């Protein structure tokens, strides 16, 4: 696996592949890789001739009181996992390479509406940072397909909207969330959990499962969500939000919508955990 911080080296390698008519899959990450990330690499290998990954802890998507400096960085272990998974090219830029003029004057990409709600309401500017870095990475790598985990469901829909709105020639694919046997979605932020908190965390997925069943059974949505929030509190999780949305647009769900998604974020100790559940009514 070639690891480089240089944009021109990335472009040269990919140009060589594309001149041969070979396809490229791309997996952008912030590192601290787990089995969920590796599932994206594996799926990329199934769908393209070559797989490229990036590791970049993007300062633009962290708020002033968030964990940019403390975000776990495990480069050596990450590189080993990528090599074992069959990744051929790793882009490892610095903030100075990505934002050479500095964040205060950096051109940005923002997907209106959908970016300001749910996680965007709690983390203003987060999705502006995510959309900007993904757009920039797409321009550098120029992949045929890009793979993202469905755990970050709102981000996935934002990236899809951005690609459509800006007419970017990239197929965006969501890959199913990888979970522990307990049901807890794999996340780099699970590392912040103590042993006691980790035992509580699976209550999030169980609550989403129970709530979906209640909604499918015809129970009033508002009262079902209130009961689910109470169940989270009783399990030791503090809800940030728990909402029912239309699965494609993330607009508030109406009684006529059939394709639905439950989205939740909770606080547990130092960690903020997110999860979702897509289902049909």
The answer on whether 206 is annotated among ligand-binding residues is no
Q: Does the annotation list 184 as a binding residue?
A: no
Q: How far apart are CA 203 and CA 237, in angstroms?
A: 8
Residues near 178 by beta carbon (within 8 Å), at least 6 away in sequence: 34, 35, 36, 39, 149, 185, 186
Task: Please indicate if the annotation marks 187 as binding a ligand.
Answer: yes
224 with 207: CB under 8 angstroms?
A: no
Three-state DSSP state, 193: coil
149 is in an annotated binding site: yes
**Residue carrying the six token digits 């939740």:** 264
Asked if 190 and 198 count as a contact pair (C-beta separation under 8 A), the reply is yes
The verdict on whether residue 35 carries a ligand-binding annotation is yes
Phi, psi of 242 (to 5 degrees): -150, 110
Maximal CA-CA distance, the chain: 58
Helix (H, G, I), strand (E, B), or coil: what is residue 173?
A: strand
79 known member of a binding site: no
Is 30 annotated to bind a ligand? Reply is yes
According to the annotation, is 186 in a ligand binding site? yes
68 annotated to bind ligand: no
The answer to the question of whether 131 is labelled as a binding residue is no
How far CA 53 is from CA of 78, 135, 199, in Å, comes to: 11, 15, 32
**Catalytic pick among 13, 14, 37, 201:** 37
188 is in an annotated binding site: yes
Q: Is 233 annotated as a binding residue?
A: no
Q: Distance between CA atoms of 261 and 153, rounded to whole angstroms? A: 9
- Is 226 annotated to bind a ligand? Reply is no
Based on its alpha-carbon atoms, the radius of gyration of the chain, rounded to whole angstroms, reads 19
Q: Is 19 annotated as a binding residue?
A: no
37 is catalytic: yes
CB 148, CB 156: distance < 8 Å: yes
Strand segments (E) across 109-237: 145-149, 171-175
Q: Is 150 annotated as a binding residue?
A: yes
End-to-end CA, the chain: 45
Annotated binding-site residue numbers for (R)-pantoate? 61, 155
Annotated binding-site residue numbers for beta-alanine? 61
Annotated binding-site residue numbers for ATP? 30-37, 149-152, 178, 186-189
The residues that are catalytic are 37
Annotated binding-site residue numbers? 30-37, 61, 149-152, 155, 178, 186-189
């Amino acid at each position: 696996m070639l690891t480089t911080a240089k944009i021109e080296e990335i472009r040269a390698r990919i140009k060589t592949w594309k001149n041969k008519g070979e396809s490229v899959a791309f997996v952008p990450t912030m590192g601290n890789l787990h089995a969920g990330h590796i599932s994206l690499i594996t799926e990329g290998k199934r769908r393209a001739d070559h797989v490229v990954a990036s590791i970049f802890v993007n300062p633009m998507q962290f708020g002033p009181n968030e964990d940019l400096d403390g975000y776990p960085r495990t480069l050596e272990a990450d590189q080993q996992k990528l090599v074992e998974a069959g990744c051929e090219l790793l882009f490892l830029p610095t903030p100075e390479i990505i934002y050479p003029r500095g964040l205060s004057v950096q051109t940005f990409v923002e997907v209106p509406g959908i970016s300001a709600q749910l996680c965007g309401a709690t983390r203003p500017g987060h999705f502006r940072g995510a959309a900007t870095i993904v757009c920039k990475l797409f321009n550098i790598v120029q992949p045929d397909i890009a793979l993202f985990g469905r755990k970050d469901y709102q981000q996935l829909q934002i990236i899809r909207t951005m690609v459509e709105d800006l007419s970017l020639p990239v197929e965006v694919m969501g890959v199913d969330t990888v979970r522990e046997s307990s049901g807890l979605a794999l996340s780099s932020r699970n590392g912040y959990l103590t042993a006691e908190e980790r035992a509580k965390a699976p209550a999030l997925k169980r609550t989403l499962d129970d709530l979906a069943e209640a909604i499918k059974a015809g129970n009033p949505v508002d009262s079902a969500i209130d009961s689910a929030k109470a169940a989270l509190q009783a399990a030791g999780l503090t809800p940030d939000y728990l909402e029912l949305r239309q699965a494609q647009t993330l607009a508030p769900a109406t009684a006529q919508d059939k394709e639905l998604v439950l989205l939740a974020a909770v606080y547990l100790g130092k960690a903020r955990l997110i999860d979702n559940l897509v289902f049909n009514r």
